[in-house]
Amino acid sequence: MDQQLSHVRADGSAHMVDVTTKGTTSRTSRAQAIVRTRSDVIEMIMEADLPKGDALPVARVAGIMAAKKTWETIPLCHPIPLGKITVDFASDVAEGTLRVTTLVKTVGVTGVEMEALSAASTAALTVYDMIKAVDAQAVISELKVLEKTGGKSGDWSAETSGESA
């Protein structure tokens, strides 16, 4: 691939992209992560009956905090003023899954995909931390962006692009 990467200079060194000339627009991103465990563990999560306590409020706050600190943990991300961050959970006891979905919004010059992904992954990691005493073999999977809006490249959705959510 001959395409010049935006985070790489001509000499091959990494740098933060200059966004000072970009226009300010409303931008959003939704992301997900899936925690796979046993059905009984999903029931414990949903009933707030884990030995370590109620996982979902802790995971929600951890996800929100992670989104706010993305620029501190991903080296070439810009600090972005975030206007909204949500972290939600949907369980499927029969499948033994907990789906973490996040939504991040800003009005700015760069997108918030990394913030949404950081929130989803950290919330899922927090759930794992709280269930590992009852299922150390739980798995986190399917971390991905579900959709983004705003910016020069426009809107995109995994559902309309043919990917499964």
CA dihedral 14, 19, 20, 25 (to 10 degrees): -170
Q: What is the mean pLDDT of residues 129-156?
A: 95
Q: Give the rounded distance of the alpha carbon of 153 from its chain centre.
A: 20
The mean pLDDT value of the chain amounts to: 92
| Helix, strand, coil fractions of the chain, as percent rounded to 5 | 25, 30, 40
Q: Considering only the top CATH level, what class is 25-150? A: alpha beta
88 in catalytic set: no
pLDDT per residue as tens digits for the range 43-63: 999 999 999 999 999 999 999
Helices and strands in the chain: count of H runs, count of E runs: 4, 5
Q: How confident is the model at residue 4 (pLDDT cuts 50, 70, 90)?
A: very low
Catalytic residue among 18, 129, 135, 155: 129
Asked if 34 and 42 count as a contact pair (C-beta separation under 8 A), the reply is: no
Q: Give the chain's end-to-end CA distance (angstroms, integer).
A: 28
Q: What is the pTM of this model?
A: 0.90
Asked if 100 and 123 count as a contact pair (C-beta separation under 8 A), the reply is: yes
pLDDT score at 22:
84
pLDDT score at 89:
98
Domain extent listing, the chain: 25-150
